[in-house]
Structure 1
Amino acid sequence: MQSTLIGTTRPLVALINNFYAFDTFNRKYGVLTDDGTYQVPASWQAGLSNGANVGQMIGLLINGWASERFGYRKTVMTCLVLIIGFIAIFFTAPNVETLLVGEILCGIPWGVFQTLSITYASEVCPIALRGYLTTYVNMCWGLGQLIAIGVIRSMLNRTDEWAYRIPYALQWMWPVPLLIGVAFAPESPWWLVRRERFEDAKKALLRLTSLSRETDFNADETIAMMVHTTALEKKITKGASYLDCFKGTDLRRTEIICMAWAMQNLAGNSFSNYSTYFLTGAGVSEENSYSFALGQYAINMVGVFGAWGLMSLGIGRRSLYLYGLCGLTVMLLIMGFLGLVPDSHRVESGLATGSLMIVWALVYQLTVGTVCYSLVAEISTRRLQIKTVVLGRNAYIIVGIICSIVTPYMINPSAWDWGNFAGFFWAGLAFLCAVYTFFRVPEPHGRTFAELDLLFERKVSARKFASTKVDVFEEGVDEGVFKAKVEAKYEEKAFQ
């Protein structure tokens, strides 16, 4: 349920950037140019996009405090109510300044959804399903983008103000049913354990467990494991503030999470988003370019299912990340070499580049784009998970802002005019990302959170994570961390 928040709010994020091709939108919010057409100035285009990013960064920081204090459900429900109100700003905006206010305000709940859905998913599912449910978030991103492009394409023939108002109005159909669904969803048992609400944690755990068939599941034993893991993390992690994310073994975990997310942009993601640009340059019509974009986002969703298939074969997150980066590097190099094609074959070069970007997107979604969500959800400690994931997502946004500023200059004929040669630049960065992954990114597949805590505490090399054996009950914890009577009750039941 909470992962679906990503997909249902993503259309609103994608709408603004695609509205710049709408004549009615440009007439309302743009200015008259020398060639007699209306365009939203480049400065305002950058301002609107970065306004959303600023709002998301604020929302990410708020989420690190609010979700841990008030719980995941209450935080999400509050943000959904805010979204309902903020959509009205877009629908009624009289000028571009009002649109900017809407972007910043909507960015705040968007930032909350981006990280809270991942952490909630990692805490409510069993280990065997953890990789699938956390990476499902990425499919929701693709679904949201697909919906946005589809709605925009259906409005291409309209010439009135409803060409851009209808897409905005359609966003109101998502928050209400989601609000109802989240209201009936259970709270995270891990969060309840951290708040010492053990009975409530057990009730939530039973709601998340199917008892319709015979299983070996024991709720008291699972709660005892959660208590033990939380106590162990309290021993390892002295506090639970943002500053603690940069202390001791948590510094290494924060670094990996930040880099895992930053590498999504550093590996050429912003460059690959210009497939329609190269196709248009090759003579493909705007309408067909939108159709091409629809196919690209559909392939992104298929890539998530492909990643599930690869993980079901036992291929680890680290391996998928590493091999994926190597494959992306090779394809970016090929794109760069296409820049050597003579101008007489410009059409063929543009079609080849656009098509290769589609293949790049598929490989990206099979590996880096999807697996990242699983990595960031598994590597952090439970006590600091929200905050480390928030820091990682902020790293993603900051790198994304830089890339979104630099990339247009690289490929624009009126600027640096690198064209396809920009592929060499991104190939170099993707190669460095592959080197970093080989030496620094560990394999969390099949590990409990307590096992991961011990592996990081013992400073096990990333390349040896998968083969190192650990016994979490060999590690003693401070029995006074929680209320002694409550903890003893659950540990006694579990280990009699």
Structure 2
Amino acid sequence: MKADEDVPKELSAHVEHAADSTATTKEALQASTYEHEATVWEALKYNYKAVLWSAAISLTIIMKGYDVDEQSLIHQFFTYPAFQRKFGAYRPEQGEYVVTGSWQAGLSNGGNVGIIISGFLNGYLSTRFEYKRVLLGVLFCMNWFIFILFFALSAPMLLVGQIVCGLTWRIFATTSPAYASEVCPLALRGYLTCYVILCWAMGPIHSLRCPLRLAKVEGEWSYRVAYALQWIWPVPLFVLIMLAPESLWWLTRNNRIDDAYKSLARLDTRGCESHQRTLAQITHTLELEAKLDSGSSYLDCFRGIDRRRTEIVYMSFAGQVLSGSAFAYTPTYFFISIGATAISFVGTIISWFLLARFGRRQLYVVGTTCLTCLLLIIGVIASASESSSAKWGQAALSLIWFFAYSVTLGPVTYTTISETSSIHLRAKSVCLSRNIYNITNLVAQVVVPYLINPTKANLKGKTAYVWTATAAVTTTWAFFRLPECRGRTYDELDVMFHQKVPARKFVTYQINVHDADALKTEGAVDKDNTK
């Protein structure tokens, strides 16, 4: 995979043809037909480069999991004597230095502050600039931001480092699924967007291993080395991303057709005629969205047909929290710190096979149903007995909950949010949906301790009843509102949302998006009503 490849001279006519806004409907239809008929192995044969580049871009998410998730570095450093002496306060009654609760909360959530801010920022940056340029700029900045963490002299300075690093972590988390959804063909789209959660699971693995090895190191190097290790990761990623092809959807949307053709030639090993048809399909989709008045501002996410699409991506992400993640993690924190990352890793791989067999909607609905039932059982056990065996049973069920989540809701959400939004609003929609998740999760993290704490509500395991209710609401919403996007090209999704097709009929509807009548409500046909 070379950084630059010259387009053969004999293909110049094709480049000019693709640049022409009158790219034939026939070519776009041929490209769409091929995408629908291509098997996974056929798509992999001709698009293996796209898979490799998408996987490379997604590796940036490992850095986020390394330093900001539940098992991240900062949470583990609170017990380090050297860290406590540097950033804590001396407690005479305890005879030792302690990082106060307020500073623990501040340092733990500092990264989330930066994450929420960059969630809005990246929606603009990814639309205005190339995905590559944004990622390269963020990696460059992060190398400098790590210096703040490494040389921090006080808790406020460390907090600033957490916040500015958080600005970069969100961009990694939202750019990767958007890029994967735009460079991979229809048959591979679900796998590569789910791969994002696989990378997410790798981060905590490294953040757990490093402190375990450094815990016995005396002095400030016990925590500084862990921060310094982050300098190793951006350099190879910077080189990889610099060599990676840009999203051909982004290039075509910005009228850089010649560059789009070059990018496609580096992603798809088929011939020039196939590339010409693919670009014709992309052009057709973008023109279709223009006809449907799909804007590109944040406000457009809440206007017209995009309002429904925004609801879907928002609720899909919020559903992860509403299905009980904040509660289910609590009794299994010890297990999570040891093996939850492995469960998430294995669960994501299993979800690939289920995704191909059942699709997005079924996995989400069945997943939330299972999670609701598990939470209800946990609540019943907590109500029936407070014995140690009952508590172990609740912990075991929470671990089963985590596995069910990792197989269904966890990975499939990334596929859903990447496919549902329109091309013009994808970057902004993905960023905003992740912010909705962060805000919902922040509220849950405040509520759960209050419900469980013996000095507060003292519900203990009965807290599961609260999350059973929210999970049931999520399941109900998904059944009536979450559409099945499997096997649908982006132009088909544009028209189906325009026609207000009910979520439960997305699978059975037939539509010819290249027909002028496709923009009319009566242009679609239900397979169940055709012979």
TM-score normalised to structure 1 length = 0.89
**Of the candidates 43, 46, 59, which is equivalent to residue 4 of structure 1?**
59
Across the aligned residues of Structure 1 and Structure 2, the Cα RMSD in angstroms comes to: 1.9
Q: CA deviation at 1:236?
A: 1.1
Contact 1:231–1:477 (CA under 8 A) maintained in structure 2: no
Q: Secondary structure at the match of 1:21?
A: coil
| CA pair 276-94 structure 1, distance change in 2 beyond 3 A | farther
* CA–CA separation in structure 2 for the residues paired with 1:438 and 1:399: 21
* CA–CA separation in structure 2 for the residues paired with 1:134 and 1:256: 17
Provide Cα deviations, 1:42-68, integer angstroms capped at 9, x if missing partner. Answer: 222222233211211111111111111
* CA–CA separation in structure 2 for the residues paired with 1:120 and 1:471: 27
* CA–CA separation in structure 2 for the residues paired with 1:257 and 1:162: 43
| CA pair 113-210 structure 1, distance change in 2 beyond 3 A | same
Aligned to 1:324: 367
Q: CA deviation at 1:113?
A: 1.1
**Structure-to-structure mapping, 1:318-467, within 5 angstroms:** 318-340=361-383, 342-343=385-386, 345-346=387-388, 348-467=389-508
Question: Which amino acid letter does the alignment assign opposite residue 296 of structure 2?
Answer: A
Contact 2:78–2:84 (CA under 8 A) maintained in structure 1: yes
Aligned to 1:258: 314
Aligned to 1:188: 247
Q: CA deviation at 1:352?
A: 2.4
The 4+ residue runs of structure 1 with deviation greater than 6 A are none
* CA–CA separation in structure 1 for the residues paired with 2:374 and 2:212: 29
**Structure-to-structure mapping, 1:57-456, within 5 angstroms:** 57-211=116-270, 218-276=274-332, 289=334, 293-312=337-356, 314-340=357-383, 342-343=385-386, 345-346=387-388, 348-456=389-497
Aligned to 1:494: none
Question: Which amino acid letter does the alignment assign opposite residue 96 of structure 1?
Answer: A
Question: Please, which moves more after superposition, 34-43 or 66-75?
Answer: 34-43
Q: CA deviation at 1:349?
A: 3.1
Q: CA deviation at 1:72?
A: 0.4
Contact 2:125–2:134 (CA under 8 A) maintained in structure 1: yes
Contact 2:198–2:344 (CA under 8 A) maintained in structure 1: yes
Q: CA deviation at 1:35?
A: 3.3
Question: Which amino acid letter does the alignment assign opposite residue 329 of structure 1?
Answer: T
**Of the candidates 494, 501, 516, which is equivalent to residue 475 of structure 1?**
516
Contact 2:201–2:345 (CA under 8 A) maintained in structure 1: yes
Contact 2:372–2:468 (CA under 8 A) maintained in structure 1: yes
* CA–CA separation in structure 2 for the residues paired with 1:192 and 1:61: 22
How many residues are matched? 460
Q: CA deviation at 1:477?
A: 10
Question: Please, which moves more after superposition, 321-330 or 404-413?
Answer: 404-413
Q: Secondary structure at the match of 1:38?
A: strand
Q: CA deviation at 1:160?
A: 2.6
Question: Which amino acid letter does the alignment assign opposite residue 78 of structure 2?
Answer: Y
2:77 counterpart of 1:19: yes
* CA–CA separation in structure 2 for the residues paired with 1:217 and 1:323: 42
Aligned-pair identity in percent equals 41
Structure 1: give runs of 5+ residues left out of the alignment.
Answer: 278-288, 479-496
Provide Cα deviations, 1:190-210, integer angstroms capped at 9, x if missing partner. Answer: 000001111111110110013
Aligned to 2:40: none
Provide Cα deviations, 1:166-195, integer angstroms capped at 9, x if missing partner. Answer: 211111110000000000000000000001
